[in-house]
Copies of this chain bind each other. A is one copy, B any other.
Amino acid sequence: MQSHDILAKNLRMLRAGAGLSQEDLADLAQVDRTYIGGLERSVRNPTLAVIERIARALGVEPYELLRPGRE
């Protein structure tokens, strides 16, 4: 599975688990409000700095966003 798809899947799961809308998470991670939707559709290519901000906003380590199989 490609990293962008793994990130998309983990993001959707963690965001829902935190009870956050895409807009809530975008605000917390200081990214554009449509950016999270783009990541969840695997159509964005985020930098490490953005991945880190999103991870911090979700309370996880950045590498956990890229780890496959986080059921």
Which A residues have a C-beta under 8 Å from some C-beta of B?
2-4, 6-7, 45-49, 51-52, 61-68
Contacts and interface: CB of A to CB of B under 8 A. Distances in A.
Contacts of A4: 48-49
A2 B63 CA distance: 11
Contact of A63 (B47, B52, B63): B63
Contacts of A67: 61, 63
B48 A46 contact: yes
Contacts of A6: 63
Contact of A48 (B7, B61, B68): B7
A47 B49 contact: no
A3 B52 contact: yes
